[in-house]
Chains A and B, each alone.
Chain A
Amino acid sequence: MADPKDIVVEFMQSKAKSKSKFYFNDLAALFPEMKMREAKKIINKLVTDGVLVYWSSGSTTMYGLPGAGKQAGAEGED
């Protein structure tokens, strides 16, 4: 299997024009052979490694590439 990091980053970059944040389901779908709770381990590892960042509204969590979208720059968090 290709490096999960490459799969996820390539997917996110391919959608970068229209989206900066993704639901967990969008990313888990990139690993169809895996159970959701296994996919979760891979995706969360990418967060720990700094490849992805969480975005949370407080009720819902999404994933994005660091610095993607307007919010990070606007709030001085990047």
Chain B
Amino acid sequence: MAKHATPLLDQLESGPWPSFVADIKEEADRRRKNEKNVTYQIPSDVCDDLLGVLELSYTDGTTHWKHGGIVGVFGYGGGVIGRYCDQPQMFPGVAHFHTMRVNQPAGKYYKTDYLRQLCDIWDMRGSGLTNMHGATGDIVLLGTTTPQLEEIFFELTHNMNTDLGGSGSNLRTPAACLGESRCEWACYDTQEMSYQLTMEYQDELHRPAFPYKFKFKFDGCPNCCVASIARSDMAFIGTWKDNIGIDQEAVAAYIGGELKPNGGAHADKDWGAFDIQKEVIDLCPTECMWIEDGKLKINDRECTRCMHCINVMPRALRIGNDRGLSILVGAKAPILDGAQMGSLLVPFIKAEEPYDEIKEVIESIWDWWMEEGKNRERLGELIKRQGLAKCIEVVGLKPVPQHVLEPRHNPYIFWKEEDVTGGWQRDIAEFRKHHQR
């Protein structure tokens, strides 16, 4: 029997789609019955009260959560987000309902016993409700009380060999695509790099001192499966310098229909025979492909690594062999000034351990942002405020054509004294020989 009547929430279960309300009710029921005899360390009616406070919010049209707080685990400034109900007498089960962020494994590989262990901890010490995964990529554990935080932290770190993730003005939990473990298009080992940089920058992850959040994401190729170009302050996107490999026999097999395009995806409908001209060549954004004497040709100098041709004909086309990554900076969500995609900072860099060159880029960006960034200013906003040219300068790079998005609309170039031969000084007598007053 439900603790609270929830007629408004019940409506959310009436659609054809899965409902979080049904899930929470299921967990509330499970906790009520407690068939596994779990020694619950937080109120067993936490899920009932969660439904109750949500119903009240629907009725009132306002939230009953107080967000944020001083709660955390010792020595860490991130990983726990305090949340309190502003009607604790009515809903004591959710008087404290803190969120914990847990660092997900690179590429999100789990063993079932790991997930069981995680769920057992959370059933006993939390609400049993999780979000797999949060937008940044963490395992999100929803709802526990303050006394349980250190207990959960101990179990995660000592028994599960994992750690809390980032929150607040921290480096957020880095996220990687599954990379070389499963994908033939990975241009570098994304999981390894995510792991190594996570270990290197533990202090930045757990002890906040940035102006605002900062996200790393690692994509093995420009397909960007973890959306690094759109969702990380610093995106590491795999790329290559040489040519796309072409297997002309396989190209012919795609044209002849022996091989299915897109690895057989879109098989739910008859889309007709594969048309390489229409479906690949004409869709190339830089028009760098053509058929000559029955063979596919690519002008690789013009290729911008959109990946479309490789995605459509994976047996025929391969990423190049001289592989590394591009670094893009400044992507962010639209809270201020609209959403921004990342801007290219480093066109190509090798991704080899110990990643020293890459760390130099990261740390020079952080030094600049920490000095110049305003409170709650994302890196992308600082770049917009001071200009990409400044960002390029602080990293110690020379501007290259790849940094140019479009022909400039500002006609002024501000030279610096060191850029001009002879500086600002000149021999006025010599000048007057050629120029009258």
Contact = CB atoms under 8 A, between A and B. Distances in A.
Contacts of B81: 56-58
A9 interface: no
B43 interface: no
B211 A25 contact: yes
B371 interface: yes
Given A24-B208, A48-B75, A77-B146, A54 B168 contact: yes
Contact of B84 (A47, A48, A58, A75): A75
A43 interface: yes
Nearest to B84: A75
Given A36-B370, A75-B69, A60 B209 contact: no
A47 B76 CA distance: 9
Contact of B210 (A24, A35, A53, A75): A24
B93 interface: no
A23 B69 contact: no
B72 A54 contact: yes
A58 B70 contact: no
A14 interface: no
Contacts of A40: 203, 207, 209
A60 B375 CA distance: 9
A13 interface: no
Interface in A25-58: 25, 28, 35-37, 39-40, 43-44, 47-48, 53-58
A56 B209 contact: no
B72 A58 contact: no
A24 B72 contact: no
**What bracket does the count of chain B residues touching chain A fall in?**
35 or more
Contacts of A23: 211, 375
A53 B70 contact: yes
Contact of A35 (B68, B367, B376): B367
B75 A47 contact: yes
A77 B69 contact: yes
A60 B168 contact: yes
Contacts of B121: none
Interface residues of A, number: 27
A4 B236 CA distance: 38
B168 A59 contact: yes
Given A60-B168, A61-B208, A75-B84, A37 B69 contact: no
Contact of A72 (B70, B203, B209, B376): B70
Contacts of B198: none
A56 B401 CA distance: 41
A28 B75 CA distance: 19
B78 interface: yes
Contacts of B69: 55-56, 71, 75, 77
Given A35-B367, A36-B209, A56 B376 contact: no
Nearest to A40: B209
Contacts of A44: 77, 203, 207, 209
B190 interface: no
Contact of A47 (B68, B77, B212, B213): B77
A44 to B, nearest CB: 5
Nearest to A25: B375
B239 interface: no
A39 B78 CA distance: 18
Interface of B: 66-72, 74-75, 77-78, 80-82, 84, 96, 99, 146, 167-170, 203, 207-213, 366-367, 370-371, 374-376
8 contacts: A35-B367, A53-B70, A55-B68, A56-B77, A59-B213, A60-B212, A64-B70, A77-B70
